[in-house]
Amino acid sequence: MYMSQSGNSGIGRIYIKVGSEIIDLSGSTKEVRDDWLKIKEDESWEGMLTTIRNARDSAVQTAAERARQSGIPERGSAFRRVLDSCEIEKTGDVILAAIHYLRFVEKETNTPPRELKNLVSQSGKWDEKEVEKWNLSLYINRMLEGGVTGKKQEPFLEYPAGLPKKNRYVVLTDAGRNYLESLTRV
């Protein structure tokens, strides 16, 4: 989608291409705005948005299927191997490992608690009902303050610079990575 407005002249343009459909509106700002509102109210616009969503969903499913066929492990089973090989069982340790996995392996920067819970559930070690009971915010806040248990240790998690101070953005500190590494040596 391309939108432009030329200085203070009051002339605007909206250009959108969805598949073979093209929307090209230009004229005064008022005319463009009015025409745009008419298009958005039209059922064909909703149809175009549905087509885009369906194409995106289909592409994601196709990519996931190709990944499975090529031997790339499914997300949950890959995380399960990490947990099993490191013998990680305690809830706080699992949450710390999940955050590390999502940040380091999957390169995610924004993972709300439901995504952490999904990853843990997908591992198959705990079912969704059990994981749903976990108070992730409590564990994350303890790790921000120091350690997994809340005992005064160096913080295992921190908020990255430049992002809001929300639990969905936390990253491991050096102390957090060292702690996880110490679990692998057990």
Token pair in block for residue 45? 């616009």
Which of 161, 121, 155 minimizes the C-alpha distance to 141? 155
Instruction: Please give the pLDDT value at position 160.
Output: 92
Token pair in block for residue 166? 């929300």
Q: For 68-79, b where at least 16 C-beta lie within 10 A, e where not — what string? A: eeeeeeebbebb
Per-domain residue ranges of the chain: 2-69, 75-184
**Per-residue pLDDT reduced to its tens digit, 115-164:** 999 999 988 899 889 999 999 999 999 999 886 655 567 899 999 999 99
Is residue 145 within a helix (H) or strand (E), and if so which, with residue range?
helix 136-145
- pTM, rounded to two decimals: 0.60
Give the CA angle between residues 65, 71, 73 to the nearest 5°: 80
For residues 156-173, give the mean pLDDT: 92
CA dihedral 97, 103, 105, 107 (to 10 degrees): 170
Q: Is the pLDDT of residue 3 over 50?
A: no
**Per-residue pLDDT reduced to its tens digit, 138-149:** 999 999 988 665
